[in-house]
Structure 1
């Protein structure tokens, strides 16, 4: 087995938008920079707000891929890998196909694939799913962020080297990010990209119930996440307007200072219909916030008895759970501290990084 200090690896990601998989790729690249001989991050298609969170010790390359098979991007990336003697490509999410193309040219490369897709079981793009299944024979290892994904991979992928791995929050992330943004009222925060599986409609309906009580007149709802201004986003804004909540709901879009916003908020929520292991939940816990989440994916396993778990798409239950924490700040603080301790123990970056390094060592 190779000494871990000789490991030379890059994290491969299609974009640097502020999604869970993207944040995990950056966390790994940054944390590994102090643990292995070489740690880099290659972004293939689109840069974004997370570029600001890449530490200076982490080598970074953007290949500017324009199409599914882009020979120029492949050539430039292989040059970057060769110049840094990279042996392992740790591909996240949909970047698996670009990793496969790299391996077709350089067969010595080892591919570790990391699946973050909370709704993989119900994937509607069957063509893309079939490509994944066929390409998986070239994977040296597969990491999955939930037990459901592990079972799906064992059933569908052409490799038996599959393991569950937890997400984690790097303590160094956002260290160079501006913290000038201020929240002046008590806020409920939701960190989730504006797309259907996150079900912001459920959250708005819950917030509408809460705002019917004059005692909560000063409270605001802050939505942080990618806003493509598509049909989903437009419908959500219409619901907000029709509910007379335009001044009460702040839609901030993608942010590089997520931790700053979470730290200033009073309560953190997720109202998703589908999740695997949401990065936001780990971030909430590490920020010592009382958490209200829907019972999907690994959420129940993460929070245990140290948060409020409600059924998905139940606005009344969601509102009641949030109101409990508003009305009982001592209980909210107690749960927040307990969840922080639980997550700090179970999702400790050092433990997870050691697990990753052991896999790297085994595939070379």
Structure 2
């Protein structure tokens, strides 16, 4: 089996990480594994394994036929059977199929606003789905939506997984050792950093030595400006630190004591898997697939989205109980290893794909 991942960019993000993870994992199991970035490279390029064939298309506009023909040439050279198109890169995959009909398209749906699917703009996607051979959904809500709304009915739910390759430890977090709270999330509205800021205001009064560390892409837009202004307005500059996108995630997680997500909407966040892989105790909002992994009070705490008082209470319980932190971290690690390991998910993916032949 010969499979090519297609992703629009290699900047740090959930879909982008999953594309790289699949490419790296399939290099160990498939006859060929490749990855093509269509529009933009980024820091995740350094995470691509040496045995993964890589192509940067540098696509200029939606209908850059030169880029599509370069992609066709790459696929023919490497005798690619399947392209696994992540997120919005389905458009590139469909254009490829027009000039290279032998290709089978697997679309990987990472839509993060799965609680608000009624507002999803999907006209182009519905048309494109006529050309899909299969669909991978990262949560059961998206799986049911695809079965109902799209024209391809070979839909499978596969949880995200994470793996780690080479990285250079370069980020040094502010704050005191053993008193850092990490949030791995791009600065997007769905991640609800304002909930984090509300909790930080309370924690500044009750546990002033503990600090928050926000790692994720800053899009330098209106939302980002609002987050930065809120930090200044609440005088939290020494309690909430922004780092932007970073490439040494493992190093950053290891410097943290507790890990959180304050999202208003999620699928299955890769950040949660990364937290669990390094046995970090977590406090998360109970959105998307999170409650399937984190059982409140057993291997972490989950609270309703937007509820700052409950989030603060859960966080302080972890801060004040080191033994509970250790127990939660070990329990979460066991769950991730059992259900979201690279081996288990990739084997299921390959078994599913073989049935299409």
TM-score range, shorter chain: over 0.9
Aligned counterparts of 1:142 and 1:122: Cα–Cα separation in 2: 17
Say which is worse superposed, 115-124 or 198-207, in terms of deviation.
115-124
Q: Which whole-Å CA distance do the structure 2 matches of 1:363 and 1:98 have between them?
A: 22
Contact 1:11 1:90 in 2 (8 A): yes
User: Separation in 2 of the partners of 1:218 and 1:292?
Assistant: 19
**Distance in 1 separating the partners of 2:258 and 2:29:** 35
Partner of 1:54: 48
8 Å CA contact 2:204–2:239 kept in 1: the answer is: no
Contact persistence 1:141–1:359 (CA under 8 A): no
Q: Give me the whole-angstrom Cα distance separating, in 2, the residues matched to 1:160 and 1:234.
A: 42
**Alignment partners' CA distance in 1, 2:261 and 2:213:** 12
Deviates more, 1:89-98 or 1:111-120: 111-120
Match of 2:135 in 1: 142
CA distance in 1, matches of 2:280, 2:118: 32
Q: Does 1:232 align with 2:186?
A: no
- Cα shift at 1:134: 1.2
**Aligned with 1:324 (options 317, 320, 330):** 317
Aligned match of 2:167? 177
Residue 89 of structure 1 aligns to a residue whose secondary structure is strand
The aligned counterpart of 2:161 is 168
Describe the SS at the equivalent of 1:234: helix
Stretches of structure 1 that go unaligned for 5 or more consecutive residues are 1-6
- Paired residues of 1:16 and 1:48 also in contact (CA < 8 A): yes
State the match for 2:87 in structure 1: 93
Preserved CA contact (<8 Å) 2:7 2:19: yes
Q: Which residue of 1 aligns with 2:302?
A: 309
Q: Is residue 272 from structure 1 mapped to residue 267 from structure 2 by the alignment? A: no
Secondary structure class of the residue paired with 2:219: coil
Please give the residue correspondences for 1:345-360 in structure 2 after superposition, counting only pairs within 5 Å. 345-360=338-353
After TM superposition, what 4+ stretches of structure 1 lie above 2 angstroms from structure 2? Answer: 120-126, 180-184
CA contact (8 A) 2:160 2:268 kept: yes
Q: Which runs of 5+ in 2 are unaligned?
A: none
Q: 1:236 to 1:322 in 2, by over 3 A?
A: same
Give the TM-score of the pair, scaled to structure 2.
0.96
State the match for 1:67 in structure 2. 61
The count of residues paired between Structure 1 and Structure 2 equals 351
CA shift for structure 1 position 34: 1.1
Which structure would you say has the larger RCO, counting Cα contacts within 8 Å and 6 or more residues apart? 1
Matched, 1:22 2:16: yes
Deviation string for 1:148-173 (max 9, x for gaps)?
Answer: 10110011000110010010011xx2
Q: TM-score, normalised by structure 1?
A: 0.94
| Contact 1:14 1:43 survives alignment (8 Å) | yes
Which whole-Å deviations, capped at 9, do the CAs of 1:243-287 have from their partners, x for residues lacking one?
111122111111111121012100000000000111101111111
- Matched ranges for 1:285-300 at <5 A: 285-300=276-291
- The 1:123/1:69 distance shift into structure 2, 3 A limit, reads farther
